[in-house]
Amino acid sequence: MRKPLIAGNWKMNGTRANAGALARAIHDGAPFADVEVAVLPPFVHLPDVVAICEGGDVRVGAQNVADQASGAYTGEVSAAMLAEFGCRYALVGHSERRTHYGESDELVAKRFAAALAGGLVPILCVGETLAEREAGETESVIARQLAAVVEVAGDDAFADAVVAYEPVWAIGTGHTATPEQAQAVHAFVRQRVAQLDADHGERLRILYGGSMKAANAAALVAMEDVDGGLIGGASLVPDDFLSICRTAG
């Protein structure tokens, strides 16, 4: 039985005061029955958010992680640094990183491997653009993104990781994938991972992300292979985020 995970990706939003207030509201919304809840604030807000969430029900993660362990990599933050600050998760390969910052499948895979090596649980984002979906390339895109990770991190890559299926056309657009569209891709992801290791495939949590909100969360998480959500916009509104968490539980 997979415990659902709801993770809030705050992106580059908020002041220090906002971040603290948001973290406190979510922390105070606990306990959460039968669902794990995580928040992913900007790097600079991590210490405050970790301090607020310490000892409670809410886990904390980062929105990216360096592909190297340490050294002359200006602007990067290593997995060990994040782990030391109380992070459990790190997003890798969010489509905004792939699109705006040119992160390749190979770089994403290295970040994924570095997260694992540094003691974090990577949340690997995969997903197709609208043009790719319309060209019938959804599965080949996802297969390529997963294969890049296996190439670098090995056949056991998904033993202790999370995958987030985020169709690019659904992120921040209000156009959510239908539960059936999400289920089809989630089943495909699970089957690819199960080909490497049946147990890893069965245990893998696969989140849906892309305009998930309180109104559509129930139908999405009801699907067999949808094990929670990666939430952007709605994670900035405490009542909306808490409502999604309760629905997933």
- Which residue's beta carbon is nearest to the bound ligand PEP? 232
Which one of 94, 128, 186, 200 is the catalytic residue? 94
For ligand PEP, the closer of residues 154 and 172 by Cβ is 172
* CB of 216 vs ligand PEP, minimal distance in Å: 11
* CB of 154 vs ligand PEP, minimal distance in Å: 26
For ligand PEP, the closer of residues 142 and 200 by Cβ is 142
Query: Is residue 175 flagged as an active site residue?
Result: no
For ligand PEP, the closer of residues 61 and 210 by Cβ is 210
Binding site for ligand PEP (CB under 6 A): 9, 166, 171-172, 209-212, 230-234
Which one of 96, 166, 186, 200 is the catalytic residue? 166
3-state secondary structure the chain: CCCCEEEEECCCCCCHHHHHHHHHHHHHCCCCCCCEEEEECCHHHHHHHHHHHCCCCEEEEECCCCCCCCCCCCCCCCHHHHHHCCCCEEEECCHHHHHHCCCCHHHHHHHHHHHHHCCCEEEEEECCCHHHHHCCCHHHHHHHHHHHHHHHHCCCCCCCCEEEECCHHHCCCCCCCCHHHHHHHHHHHHHHHHHHCHHHHHHCEEEEECCCCHHHHHHHHCCCCCCEEEECHHHHCHHHHHHHHHHHC
For ligand PEP, the closer of residues 71 and 102 by Cβ is 102
Query: Is residue 132 flagged as an active site residue?
Result: no
Residues labelled as active-site residues: 94, 166
